[in-house]
Structure 1
Amino acid sequence: MSFFKGILFGVGVGSAVGLLLAPRKGSKTQEKMIDDVRDIVQRTDELNESLKNFRTAVIDLKTTFDALVPEFTSGVKKDIEDFNFQAEPRIKQIQETIDHLSID
């Protein structure tokens, strides 16, 4: 956040110095400075609004993530249990066949 403030401060100071050194009438320089300050304030407000929207989006994403992960985990556990239920008889049958072949 301080990086953006530094950029905005630098733009403001640079504009002010440039305008003060510019070869214009005082009233034109004042108008230009006022316009630049308004522009900086507007861009700062837009940046703050964008950051607010970003924060809201991150919170919404976390909420969605928190809601979906338990469901997904539960579904995966159920699939593993189903697989084990189906595989156990087959594994037992294969083991019996191996045992039978080892005896012969």
Structure 2
Amino acid sequence: MSKNTNTALGILAGATIGAALGVLFAPAKGSKTRKKIKEKINETGETIVEEAESIRNSVADSISSKKETLEELIEDVVSKGSHKAEDVIDSLEKQLEILKEKNKTLQKS
């Protein structure tokens, strides 16, 4: 996990604990306190789901970006390799022509 993710989760946990303690120590009836605790739990659950979705989206975007970069690098390497292969083939064809000419002169003798 990244430092930002850990920080966000730490802040979220601290806020949840603080809210729960505040509700527990506040002077109110038991039924009201239980209702407040239930509401805070629901709010915290929603916040956790939102944070998890945000983290998932961030990771998915990062992976997608890295994949595109890798694909571009592979395409570049293949392209350069193809150009080099073409250069080697051209050079070999020229050398073959030279050897054919030398062979013709040797055959005439």
- Considering the TM-score relative to the shorter chain, is it more than 0.5? yes
Match of 2:24 among 20, 28, 31: 20
The count of aligned residue pairs is 76
Match of 1:66 among 49, 66, 70: 70
What is the alpha-carbon root mean square deviation over aligned residues? 2.1
Letter in 2 for 1:66: L
Gaps of 5+ in 1: 79-104
- 1:22 and 1:31 map into 2 onto residues whose CA distance is 13
Aligned to 1:87: none
Gaps of 5+ in 2: 84-109
Matches within 5 A, 1:12-91: 12-71=16-75, 74=79
What TM-score do you get using the length of structure 2 for normalisation?
0.58
Identity within the alignment, %: 32
What TM-score do you get using the length of structure 1 for normalisation?
0.61
- Could you list the runs of 4 or more consecutive aligned residues of structure 1 that deviate by over 3 angstroms after TM superposition? 69-75
Instruction: Render the CA deviation track for 1:46-88: whole Å, top value 9, x for unaligned.
Output: 111111111111111111111223545758xx8xxxxxxxxxx
Letter in 2 for 1:26: G
